[in-house]
Structures are given as structure tokens and as C-alpha cells.
Amino acid sequence: MAVQRLEWTQIGATKDDGVHDGLSTQGEITPFHELLLIAPWWGHVTWRSHRPGEAVADGALIGEVRQAANVYPIHAPVEGLLVDYLAREGDWVTPGRPLVRLEPLAPRED
């Protein structure tokens, strides 16, 4: 089974000078910014039991992209709220296609 790191894109990020930079895959994930989880490879997408509006744990398996004997897992890169699926179960996806919208949860203050 092949394993590849899942890419993500942060939406609504700002540079240190406060200027909006559109999309970013660099730096820290800041609270309340939406993330797009991106297809890591070609294949058919399969989703797990999470539903839009549900919280997902950091590292939770959200779904997979399958191609022949290869399986590429889709994990939540942070604890957050699953906003929406951007591909249907069984859809053929290509690398770079947005698959999931995820809103990171605010860090807890102890």
C-alpha cells in the first residue's frame, strides 16, 4: 500500500503585515480559517462516517483516494469542523482537486 502526505490549503490567511494573501500552504494554521484538503493522487474517493457539521479530531481518517492496489488516506491535519465534502463518494479525482472543507477549532485555553 502506497502512502503519500496529504496536502492542504489555508483560505483567508494574512501575511504578517495584515495583507490578505489569498491561499497559503505555508506557515501555521490559525483558528477560524478554512482549510481545503486536496487530493493527493488520481483515483476514486471513498468517505468514512463523518458528516458535514461534525467535529473531527486531529489526525482523524476522513476518507481515502483509491487507485488499483494503492490507497491514499485523507486525514484531518487539525482538530476541526467538517464543513463540506467537495467530491461525491466514488468520484474520480485528480491530484490537486479540493476534496474537503475543514474549519479548524479555536485552540483551548487551559
Which CATH number does the domain housing residue 70 bear? 2.40.50.100
Query: Which residue in the block uniquely carries the three cell numbers 474549519?
Result: 103
The x, y and z cell numbers of residue 89, run together, are: 463518494
**Is 32 within the bounds of a domain?**
yes
CB 87 within 8 A of CB 99: yes
Q: What is the mean pLDDT of residues 9-18?
A: 44
Q: How many CB atoms lie within 10 A of CB 98?
A: 17
| Amino acid at position 6, single letter | L
Q: What is the pLDDT of residue 100?
A: 95
Question: Please, what is the average pLDDT of the chain?
Answer: 77
**Is 95 within the bounds of a domain?**
yes
- Total number of domains constituting the chain: 1
Q: What is the pLDDT of residue 107?
A: 60
Sequence-separated (6 or more) residues with CB below 8 Å from residue 15: 21
Asked if the model's pLDDT at residue 76 lies above 90, the reply is yes
The x, y and z cell numbers of residue 63, run together, are: 476518507
Print the domain residue range for 96.
7-104
User: What's the predicted TM-score (pTM) here?
Assistant: 0.68
Q: What is the pLDDT of residue 1?
A: 35
Q: What is the pLDDT of residue 98?
A: 94
Asked if the model's pLDDT at residue 61 lies above 60, the reply is yes
Does 39 or 33 have the greater pLDDT score?
39
**Is 110 within the bounds of a domain?**
no
Percent of the chain with pLDDT over 90: 55
